[in-house]
Amino acid sequence: MLVLGIESSCDETGVALYDSAVADPARALLSHRLHTQAAMHEAYGGVVPELASRDHIRRLLPLLEGVLEDAGRTRDDIDAIAVTEGPGLVGALLVGTAFAHALAFAMKIPVIGIHHLEGHLLSPLMSEDPPSFPFVALLVSGGHTQLMHVTGVGQYAMLGETVDDAAGEAFDKTAKLLGLPYPGGPSLARLAEFGDDQAFALPRPMLHSGNLDFSFSGLKTAVATAARHAGNTCDAVKADLAASFQRAAVDVLVAKSMSALKATGSKRLVVAGGVGANRLLREELAATVAKRGARVYFPALAWCTDNGAMIALAGALRIERDGPPVAHGLGFGVRPRWALDAIASPS
């Protein structure tokens, strides 16, 4: 079955073609294209939702034509469409879903609405050496920070999550505070390379909370306070602040991930979402997990941030498990707020 995947929940338009007849998920992805709006939003220091929606409208059709051309297929070859139904920006989601449903209606093929985080969660399966179920997933994106126990496709049990800011949000807000360009996470990580991560004693929020929840808003405030006390925030001090912040955030993410492995008895940790691209997080997790005799799996960098491939994959796996969704009329909806455990079936 040839599944077209469409992602438009935030500031990236992603389209991909996935052939579920190919058994190996690393090879089943026939083509994918992505347009990132980062340059457009940069001037505003963050995503402007209305601009995001309008840009998705401009990009979708050329991206679709591009992936068909790359894969040497035509529209008539597509058997089903998987589209991000939520969570995300309502206008941005509406553009992708309206596009998907209009195309599906015209072509008389079914559409399956995908949870964006399920896409992230399953994205490490598209590798040469994918993890097998069950595993613990650390989902670290701009909007979410969650530890999940994944026992199969659609079988997700929440172990812990952030009580305030998401990890990516904390990176972005701290970067903004330091006057770094948008998107903040990668900018802060780059600057941190030049800093001393011991220069500022920042808190490790909820490290000893006794549960698997996170909190990041206090960390960002601690950086603001430290910057004020330092008075002179020259480039070297900024680099020290960035490095100290990154170290504190990574320490907490690593410690909680280890506790989740211990609590579930799992030997596999999967890291997904944009912050999964962070080099220090990758290095620290790899070293710490190895000490426990466990393994950590990272999606390829291209699959860490938003993309259409993970949506096509999630759609294909759901269809494989549940059969194709029934094609219906013109009605459709989006779910800007949508908890991942709401789509989980009992394991």
- Whether 244 and 227 have beta carbons less than 8 Å apart is answered as no
Pick the piece of the chain touching ligand KG4 (CB under 6 A) from 37-45, 185-193, 251-259, 330-338.
Answer: 185-193
Residue 306 makes contact with ligand KG4 by CB under 6 A: yes
> Backbone dihedral region of 344: left (phi > 0), alpha (psi from -120 to 50 degrees) or beta?
beta
Nearest-10 Cα torsion for 258, 262, 265, 271:
-20
Q: Which does 307 bind (CB under 5 to 8 A by kind): ligand KG4, Zn ion, none?
A: none
For 161, the token pair is 């999550």
d(CA 86, CA 190): 31
Residue 186 makes contact with ligand KG4 by CB under 6 A: yes
- Look at strands 135-140 and 111-115 and give their pairing: unpaired
Residue 17 makes contact with ligand KG4 by CB under 6 A: no
Residues 272-331 that bind Zn ion (CB under 5 A): 306
Strand partners, 115: 86
Pick the piece of the chain touching Zn ion (CB under 5 A) from 139-147, 157-165, 221-229, 279-287.
Answer: 139-147
For 49, the token pair is 């939702």
Q: Which CB atom, from 10 or from 226, has the smaller least distance to ligand KG4?
A: 10
> From the list 131, 184, 195, 308, which residue makes contact with ligand KG4 (rule: CB under 6 A)?
184
Q: Which CB atom, from 112 or from 166, has the smaller least distance to ligand KG4?
A: 166
Residue 305 makes contact with ligand KG4 by CB under 6 A: yes
d(CA 147, CA 270): 10
Q: Which CB atom, from 87 or from 315, has the smaller least distance to ligand KG4?
A: 87
> From the list 141, 162, 266, 307, which residue makes contact with Zn ion (rule: CB under 5 A)?
141
Rounded to a whole number of angstroms, the minimum distance from the CB of residue 273 to Zn ion is 6
Residue 271 makes contact with ligand KG4 by CB under 6 A: no
Pick the piece of the chain touching ligand KG4 (CB under 6 A) from 24-32, 96-104, 212-220, 271-279.
Answer: 271-279
Pick the piece of the chain touching ligand KG4 (CB under 6 A) from 32-40, 203-211, 233-241, 267-275.
Answer: 267-275
- Whether 292 and 314 have beta carbons less than 8 Å apart is answered as no
- Whether 158 and 216 have beta carbons less than 8 Å apart is answered as no
Rounded to a whole number of angstroms, the minimum distance from the CB of residue 120 to Zn ion is 6
* Residues 6 or more apart in contact with residue 280 via CB below 8 angstroms: 189, 192, 246, 247, 250
Rg of the Cα atoms in the chain: 20
Give the interface with ligand KG4 as residue ranges (CB under 6 A). 10, 141-143, 168, 171-172, 183-186, 189, 273-275, 277-278, 305-306
